[in-house]
Amino acid sequence: MPDCPWSPGPSGPGHFLGVTGVALSAMSDIQSRVDAIYRAESRRVLATLIRLLGDFDLAEEAVHDAFIAAVEQWPREGMPANPRAWLVSAGRFKAIDTLRRRARFDASLGALAIHLESTMAAAPETEIVEDDRLRLIFTCCHPALPPDGQVALTLREVCGLTTEEIARAFLTAAPTVAQRIVRAKAKIRDATIPYQVPGFEDLPSRLDAVLHVVYLVFNEGYSPSSGESITRGDLSREAIRLGRVLVELLAAPEAMGLLALMLIHESRRDARSTPDGDTVLLEQQDRALWDRHLIAEGESLVERAISSRRFGPYTLQAAIAAVHASAPTANETDWAQIAGLYDVLARADPTPVVALNRAVAIAMRDGPEAGLVEIDRVLAGGELDDYLWAHSARADLCRRLGRVDEAKTAYARARALARQGPERRFLERRIAELARARPRT
């Protein structure tokens, strides 16, 4: 999550600091509650304000202003009964103020301010529709926007990721991402892309872009692009929540497949890192820590999706995850079935990352030598040069084949690409183990 924008700075609400100690502790209590509300509600407040104000930038400013107002007023007047409704209402007033100020330079904004004020009187505060987030998602993922713009905009607006976080998720530069977002917003405004959930006929065709975005959000939460903590549960939970909304709304097989995939991955959350935050690989995980409820829910979704016969890459990935989940121990994993599913997936979704994972499955089924041939074929494509798991997987196969020098080189390459503490420590442990190992002769 981005830094809370109202954090007291030189121009922040620092005047609280002059009050008594009692008020101070009450204030810090309110501040932490505002922080929690910001994390839980700021995107919903934004989604509703975009609908009410009809403008992304004006709505973002209004959210910012509404939270500043909350920090100023809640310690004095107490927490409102419905903080989200309060924030939406405050944001709307702030936006009208902003338009009035600007109307001194641009008279047309005055008319807009009056219009907003009149519609405000008519609309009760309880009119906060849960659909607003869905409106926001489908607008951000509108096919008239370029695909990279859709993804960047959704991560920024729906999930509140910073431009820098999105840039790392995309393996691209922050200014590039910032430009994609600005252009996408400009097109929404200038071409009048409506703020609505598509109609029944358009819905399935609009779904693919949305699912792709949800998947990226889940991945950002499951293995974040930087920082010390290996998981950011809030983002993963957010993606799962979005996935549930989509399944409920559409009952589309690939929406089920994606939700199943996320649930089965999520089931391993407690098992995939040590209390110190270090990575535990799938084969070393304590399977008693896997959440059986999430797995069961995921498996039943996979079955529903597959029986529809209209499934695609997400359902196949979920089916692979389900095979892993059903193995009582790592040694009992049905690698033949997994490699077979990867063959189908590689045809449905011919990307280098899928090819890499297929290579690893082949190594497990047919031995490290066969896997290494496949990995080198993938790496020769050049698209995974900066993908640390490609080098880490190659290193692991070389290690198992006793090719220690090659393994060291590949681990060092992966280590240089690692941005996260736990990833770095995992690779450093592997490098240290190799230093102790002696080459097979």
Partner 1 sequence: MKYLCLIYDDEKKLGSMTKGEADAFMGEYMAYTESVKTSGHYLGGNALQPVATATSVRVRNGKMSATDGPFAETKEQLGGYYLIEAKDLNEAISVASRIPSAKIGTIEVRPIMVH
Q: Provide the binding-site residues for partner 1, judged by CB under 8 A.
A: 142, 144, 190-194, 196, 198, 202
Alpha helices in 223-277 (DSSP H): 233-250, 253-266
Least CB distance to partner 1 at residue 273 (A): 45
Least CB distance to partner 1 at residue 108 (A): 10
HSE toward the beta carbon, residue 211, CA cutoff 13 A: 25
- Nearer to partner 1 by C-beta: 100 or 187? 187
Q: Which residues of 5-15 are buried (b: 16+ CB within 10 A; e: fewer)?
A: ebeeeeeebee
Q: What's 307-355 look like in SS3?
A: HCCCCCHHHHHHHHHHHHHHCCCHHHCCHHHHHHHHHHHHHHCCCHHHH
Report the alpha-carbon distance of residue 120 to residue 93 in Å, rounded.
Answer: 9
Instruction: Give 1-9 contacts, CB < 8 A, sequence gap 24+.
Output: 1/39, 1/160, 1/234, 2/160, 2/161, 2/162, 4/34, 4/35, 4/38, 4/67, 5/64, 5/67, 5/68, 6/34, 6/64, 6/67, 6/68, 6/70, 6/71
Least CB distance to partner 1 at residue 25 (A): 51
DSSP 191: T
Report the alpha-carbon distance of residue 234 to residue 225 in Å, rounded.
Answer: 15
- Nearer to partner 1 by C-beta: 46 or 197? 197
- Nearer to partner 1 by C-beta: 195 or 342? 195
Q: Which residue type sits at 80?
A: P
- Nearer to partner 1 by C-beta: 197 or 258? 197
- Nearer to partner 1 by C-beta: 190 or 276? 190
- Nearer to partner 1 by C-beta: 142 or 408? 142
Q: How many CB atoms lie within 10 A of CB 256?
A: 27
Least CB distance to partner 1 at residue 144 (A): 6
- Nearer to partner 1 by C-beta: 123 or 191? 191
- Nearer to partner 1 by C-beta: 175 or 194? 194
Contact 323, 338 (CB under 8 A): yes
Least CB distance to partner 1 at residue 140 (A): 14
Contact 50, 63 (CB under 8 A): no
Contact 352, 378 (CB under 8 A): yes
- Nearer to partner 1 by C-beta: 28 or 196? 196
Report the alpha-carbon distance of residue 398 to residue 405 in Å, rounded.
Answer: 9
Report the alpha-carbon distance of residue 376 to residue 54 in Å, rounded.
Answer: 51
Least CB distance to partner 1 at residue 191 (A): 5
- Nearer to partner 1 by C-beta: 142 or 265? 142
Q: Which residue type sits at 133?
A: R
What sign does the CA torsion over 66, 71, 77, 81 have? positive
Tokens describing residue 290: 């896997």
Report the alpha-carbon distance of residue 253 to residue 90 in Å, rounded.
Answer: 41
